[in-house]
Amino acid sequence: YEFETRTIYMTKQEIFQLEFENHVTEGLKAFPKFLSSKYIYDDRGDELFQQIMALPEYYLTEAEYNIIDTHKDNLRKVFNTHGAFDLIELGAGDGKKTKVLLKELVTNKVDFTYIPIDISQHAIDDLTNSLTTLLPDLEVQGEQGTYFKVLERLATYNKRPKVIIVLGSNIGNLDHPQAIDFLIKIKDVMSDQDFLFMGFDQKKDPLTIQHAYADSQGVTQEFNRNLLHRINKEMDGDFPVNNFEHWESYDPETGTAKSYLIATEPCVVEIKKLQLKTTFKKWETIHCEISQKYDDDTVEWLANKSGLEIEKIYEDHQKLFKDYLFKI
Ligand code: AVI
C-alpha cells in the first residue's frame, strides 16, 4: 500500500472557527443543550459587552473602577516592590480601568512596560493607539495570541519581575475545575518576585445579581442571542433568533448565576455547514454561561488548589467586588 501524507496548515482564526463548529455540534446534540458564551464575542458581541458594562444594573465595572481608583497609590507601591517590572494584562478590553492604573504609574515615573495580551490584534491596536495619545510616555508592547502561549514566551525571554492583571471577574465564566486549571497555568509562569492581581465578583443580595444579568433594556438578551446570530451567519443556520428568550437564574447557595436561551415556540433548526438538524420543544433550554460569584473562603480554596497565596484583598466602597493580590 502507498500512503500519502499531507501537512495541512491552518491559521489561528481557522482553528478557532473549527473549534466553534465542533462545539456547536456537541452542544446542540447534547441533552440538555448547551453553547459556550466564549463564542459570543465577535465584533457585535464585543460591542454588546461594552454596552453591558455601561448599564446601570451591571455594577461590576464601576465597582472595580472604584477599587483601582481608591487604591492606585498603594497598588503602585506594591507593584514596584522589586523595582522595574512588566505589567502584563490578560485581555486588552477598552482599558478604562487599566488606564487609571497606567496614569498613576506613568505620572510617578515608575519604570515598567505595559504588555496587554489579546487574541484580537484589532483590540490591541485600538488600545495602543488610544494610549499613545493619552500617555505618550508609556512604554506599550501589545502581544497578540492566546494568553498562555504568550505568557510562556514572555516568561522565557523577559527576566524582569511580572505583575499579571486580570480584571473584570472573567474567571467567573469558568467552573471551579476550569478556574483552577486557569490559575495553575498562570502560577506556572510566575517566579517568587511576581504578582497576580485578579478581579472576583462577590456574593451579595441575589436581586442585585439577578438584575445585573437580566437588565431592563434587554442588552444581555441580545448579547446571548448573538451566539445564535453567529451560527446563522457563519454556519448557514436558520435559528429563529427572536423565538429564544434570555433567562437568568442565580443560586445564592453555590454563588452561580446561569444564563439560558429558552425556545418560546417548538422549532426545527438546520445548520447546513454542520449537516445538523436539531429540534426544540417549547420551553427547551440552551445553557450559555455561568458567572460565578465568590467569597473569601472560595477564593482561598481556589488559591490553595492552584499553588497561589493571597497576599492582599482590595474591596470597593459598596462592598460588591474584590480584587485579590496573589503570589506563589
Ligand atoms: C465577561 N464576563 C465577566 C461577563 C460576566 O459578568 O460574566 C459576561 C457577561 N455576561 C452577561 N453579562 C456580562
The interface predicted TM-score of the complex, written ipTM, equals 0.99
Instruction: Give the chain's radius of gyration (CA, Å).
Output: 21
Contact 153, 187 (CB under 8 A): no
The CA 3 to ligand 1 mean position distance, Å, reads: 49
Query: What pLDDT, on the 0 to 100 scale, is given for residue 3?
Result: 66
Distance CA 121, CA 123 (A): 5
* Helix or strand holding residue 148 (H, E): helix 147-157
Q: What is the pLDDT of residues 217-260, one digit of tens each?
A: 999 999 999 999 999 999 999 999 999 999 999 999 999 999 99
How far is the centre of ligand 1, averaged over its atoms, from the C-alpha of 156 (Å)?
A: 32
Cis check: omega of the bond before 240, within 30 degrees of 0: no
Q: Write out residues in the chain with pLDDT < 70, as ranges.
A: 1-4, 93-94
The answer to whether 80 touches 110, Cβ cutoff 8 Å, is yes
Q: How far, in Å, CA of 158 to CA of 166, rounded?
A: 19
- Could you identify the atom of ligand 1 that is nearest to the CA of residue 49? 13
**Could you tell me if 293 and 204 are in contact, meaning their C-beta atoms sit under 8 angstroms apart?**
yes
- How many angstroms separate the alpha carbon of residue 291 from the centre of ligand 1? 6
**Structure-block grid coordinates of residue 241:** 433568533
Predicted local confidence at residue 94, as pLDDT = 65
Instruction: Please state the atom number of ligand 1 nearest to the C-alpha of residue 291.
Output: 7
What residues does ligand 1 touch, defined as CB less than 6 Å away? 52, 60, 168-170, 172-173, 213, 220, 223, 289, 291
HEC secondary structure over 2-34: CCCCCCCCCCHHHHHHHHHHHHHHHHHHCCCEE
165 DSSP β-pair partners: 89, 197
Please give the pLDDT value at position 1: 59
